Amino acid sequence: MRQSALVLAACLATACASAQPARSTLQIATVANHRTVVATQTGGWLHAAPVQTDVLENSDGSTWVGFWIDTPAQAGATARPPLDVALVVDTSGSMSGAKIESARMAAASFLDGLSDGDLVSLYSFSDSVTELAPPTVMSAGTRAELLRRVRGLYAAGGTNLHDGLLAARMATDRAPDSHPVRRIVLISDGRATSGNTDSGAIGDVAAQATEHGTQVTAIGVGVDYDEAMLNTMAVRSAGRMYHLEAPQQMASILHNELELLGETVAANVMIEFTPGEGVVIEDSDTVRIDRRGGVVRVPLGSLYSAQHREVLLRARIPTTGANARSLGRARLVWQRPQESTVREDAPMELSYNLTRDAAAPARSTQERVQAMVVSWEASQSQLRATQLLNQGQAERAEAELAHAEQRIQQAQAQYHFSDDTVRGSLARQSAGIARGRAAASSASQAPAAARPARARAAALENNASAMDALGF
């Protein structure tokens, strides 16, 4: 691999009014990527099953297919993989005061946590985008200059989320194979008010980042940001979303992100599912789905040590014909963090049986997948409650959350989940719903003058809980 040239300069980059940020003189050369693909035996990380293996003949064929990955825990100290990180900070006028001060301190702390050899690029955005540093190799010589630049952040203007995210994506697109763990960290306290404000277009930018293995960590600060927009960034890039009640929490969140990135055991992870004859995988709002040549691909980005990751897909299957039917083949495609080789695990065959016994489907329920369905349904209730709270309908939100909490309790009694991971996840989600319901109740009972602020706080709490349950 050729060594990239690095040139330092003392001046900051100037702002530009388009998606292409102004170039500074802190430069790094682009390195060509070359990858080898090898077939491997499955290491047992990926598991998959339909929610029920027995399906009634001539039923509507609507079902669920669950996938879950359990990565191994790292044994002892291991070398951290090289990182490529783009840090993007909202510097619109609403970030003035404690928010921009905390952003400066958090960004400086984040840079201090990076290792020599990591790649980092820095951008700020308000009405336009300023490139504080293009992809730069972290070293003793560059660290001081990068720190100086983030300490010069100041707040003024509108909020051009689209162009800020696009600038970061363009930077991480150029990362060499030597840095397969890639992340965009975007900090914002507002709603898109400048440039392209369409949520679909901004979501597309996040989704396109996954083509190069990049995920987006979206951090919402305060109470005025557009949580649905940040949700979209996280979902469509298989990233993460954080809600910060106080700006001072930024440093700990960035530190947590850096620790997780350092524990990466697999990069560019992808679930590939080839549906059986007549099987259709439906679109989803809670996971990104790519379709190529009859293969359904779900990009997951990087996975860290001892991580449990779940993906739930809705399917429609044939319910006539032969009794034993193929649901499809699933396999995991991934890359070790410090290798350029792409690994394709041996595919898993999934099937189902058609039956005339009305009681058979219930008997064939797969515990892990059923729990995923219960959790998904509850998270959708939380997201609906979020919308209701934002519309000032706190009483309806409270009722929605009460129903979700009751549904989890009923499922626990009905299915008697035996898996500790399943029980623990549902218990945590139920507790999160209970807290959200209490917040919605507080909003509904508050004096009229205080009700909007309490409803907004309850909305953000429920949104954060729902995203956590969905794995983001």
The domain spans of the chain are: 36-76+266-360, 81-262, 367-469
> Among residues 131, 83, 89, 132, which one has the least CA distance to residue 107?
89
Closest alpha carbon to 171 in 270, 42, 24, 298 = 24
Copy the structure tokens of residue 41: 């035996």
Nearest partner of 296 among 311, 306, 310, 307, judged by Cα: 311
Are 226 and 304 a contacting pair, CB within 8 Å?
Answer: no
Q: What is the largest CA-CA distance in the chain?
A: 76
3-state secondary structure the chain: CCCCCEECCCCCCCEECCCCCCCCCCEECCCCCCCEEEEECCCCCEEEEECECEEECCCCCEEEEEEEEECCCCCCCCCCCCEEEEEEEECCHHHCCHHHHHHHHHHHHHHHHCCCCCEEEEEEECCCEEEEEEEEECCHHHHHHHHHHHCCCCCCCCCCHHHHHHHHHHHHHCCCCCCCEEEEEEEECCCCCCCCCCHHHHHHHHHHHHHHCEEEEEEEECCCCCHHHHHHHHHHCCCEEEEECCHHHHHHHHHHHHHHHHCEEEEEEEEEEEECCCCEECCCCCCCCEEECCEEEEEEEEEECCCEEEEEEEEECCCCCCCEEEEEEEEEEEECCCCCEEEEECCEEEEEEEECCCCHHHHCECHHHHHHHHHHHHHHHHHHHHHHHHCCCHHHHHHHHHHHHHHHHHHHHHHCCCCHHHHHHHHHHHHHHHHHHHHHHHHHHCCCCCHHHHHHHHHHHHHHHHHHHCCC
pLDDT at 22: 41
Which distant-in-sequence residues (6+ apart) come within 8 Å of 10 by Cβ?
Answer: 145
Spatial separation of the C-alpha atoms in residues 158 and 94, rounded to whole Å = 8
46-50, strands of its sheet edge to edge: 46-50, 62-70, 308-316, 280-281
Whole-angstrom distance, CA of residue 13 vs CA of residue 21: 9
In degrees and rounded to multiples of 5, residue 245 shows phi and psi of -75, -30
> pTM of the entire structure?
0.85
Sequence letter at residue 286:
T
- For the domain covering 36-76+266-360, report its CATH number: 2.60.40.3670
pLDDT tens for 37-54 read 544 544 589 999 999 999
Q: How confident is the model at residue 77, as a pLDDT?
A: 53
Give the CATH class of 81-262. alpha beta
Closest CA to 167 of 138, 132, 143: 132
* CA–centroid distance for 457 within its chain: 22
State how far Cα 226 lies from the chain centre: 16
pLDDT tens for the chain, residues 1 to 472: 333 332 333 333 333 333 444 434 344 434 434 445 544 544 589 999 999 999 999 999 999 999 999 999 876 556 778 999 999 999 999 999 999 999 999 999 999 999 999 999 999 999 999 999 999 999 988 999 999 999 999 999 999 999 999 999 999 999 998 898 999 999 999 899 999 999 999 999 999 998 888 999 999 998 889 999 999 999 999 999 999 888 888 888 998 898 888 899 999 999 999 999 999 999 988 888 999 989 999 999 999 999 999 999 999 999 998 889 999 999 999 988 877 788 888 899 999 999 999 999 999 999 999 999 999 999 999 999 999 999 999 999 999 999 999 999 999 999 989 888 899 999 999 999 999 999 999 999 999 999 999 999 999 999 999 999 998 9
